[in-house]
Amino acid sequence: MKIAIIGAGAMGSLFGGRLAQAGEDVWLLDVWEEHVAAIQAHGLTLVDTTAETSIRLNATTQADDIGPVDLVIIFVKSYATPDAAQTAAALLGPATTVLTLQNGLGNAETLAKVLGAERVVVGTTAMGATLLGPGRIKCGGQGPTHIGSFSGGANPRLHDIATIFARAGIHTVVDSNVTALVWSKLIINVGINAITALTGIPNGQVMASAETRELVRLAVAEAVAVARASGIPLPHTNYFDQVATVAQATRDNRSSMLQDVTNRRRTEIDAINGAIVAAGKRLGVPTPVNETLTLLIKTLEQTYLS
Average of per-residue pLDDT across 136-148: 88
Given a cut of 90, whether residue 52 has pLDDT beyond it is: yes
Beta strands in the chain (DSSP E): 2-6, 25-29, 44-47, 52-55, 58-60, 69-74, 92-100, 120-125, 128-133, 136-141, 145-149, 172-174
**What confidence tens digit (pLDDT) does each residue in 144-175 have?**
899 999 987 667 789 999 999 999 999 999 98
Tens of pLDDT, residues 85-95: 999 999 999 99
Mean pLDDT throughout 171-180? 89
Rounded to an integer, what distance in angstroms lies between the CA atom of residue 31 and that of residue 6?
Answer: 9
Give the Cβ contact number of residue 296 at 10 Å.
16
Question: What Rg do the C-alpha atoms of the chain give, in angstroms?
Answer: 18
> With b meaning 16 or more CB within 10 Å and e meaning fewer, what string describes 213-223?
bebbebbbbbb
Whether 281 is a known active-site residue: answer no
Measure the CA–CA gap between 190 and 132, rounded to whole angstroms. 24
Report the percentage of the chain scoring pLDDT > 90: 86
pLDDT of residue 65: 97
What letter does residue 90 receive in the DSSP assignment?
T
pLDDT, tens only, 246-287: 899 888 888 999 999 999 999 999 999 999 999 999 999 999
* Lowest mean pLDDT across 71-75, 141-145, 160-164, 302-306: 141-145
Three-state SS at 169: coil
* Dist. CA 21–CA 10, nearest whole Å: 16
Q: What is the pLDDT of residue 154?
A: 66
pLDDT for residue 151: 83
pLDDT (average), residues 68-86: 97
Percentage, residues of the chain above pLDDT 70: 99
Contacts of 265 (CB under 8 A, 6+ apart): none
| 186-225 pLDDT per residue, tens | 999 999 999 999 999 999 999 999 999 999 999 999 999 9
Is pLDDT at 38 greater than 70 in this prediction?
yes
Q: Please tell me the predicted confidence (pLDDT) of residue 155.
A: 75
151: exposed, middle or buried (Cβ count in 10 Å: 0-12, 13-18, 19+): middle
Highest mean pLDDT among 148-152, 178-182, 296-300 belongs to 296-300
Alpha-carbon distance 278 to 284, whole Å?
10
Q: What is the mean pLDDT of the chain?
A: 94
Q: Does the structure show a pLDDT above 70 at 9?
A: yes
Reduced to 3 states (helix: H, G, I; strand: E, B; else coil), residue 265 is coil
Phi/psi of residue 157, nearest 5 degrees: -75, -20
Say if residues 60 and 39 touch (Cβ distance below 8 Å): no
- Where do the domains of the chain lie, and which CATH numbers do they carry? 2-176 (3.40.50.720), 180-305 (1.10.1040.10)
Beta bridge partners of 100: 74, 122
Considering only the C-alpha atoms of the chain, give the largest distance between any 2 of them, rounded to a whole number of Å: 54
Question: Rounded to 5 degrees, what are φ and ψ at 302?
Answer: -65, -25
pLDDT above 80 for 141: no
Q: Provide the 10 A C-beta neighbour count for residue 285.
A: 18
d(CA 83, CA 110): 10
Q: Whole-model pTM?
A: 0.91
Q: Give the Cβ contact number of residue 14 at 10 Å.
A: 26
pLDDT at 142 over 90: no
Q: Which of 2, 185, 281, 298 is catalytic?
A: 185
- CA pair distance 181, 122, nearest whole angstrom: 9
CB 150 within 8 A of CB 122: yes
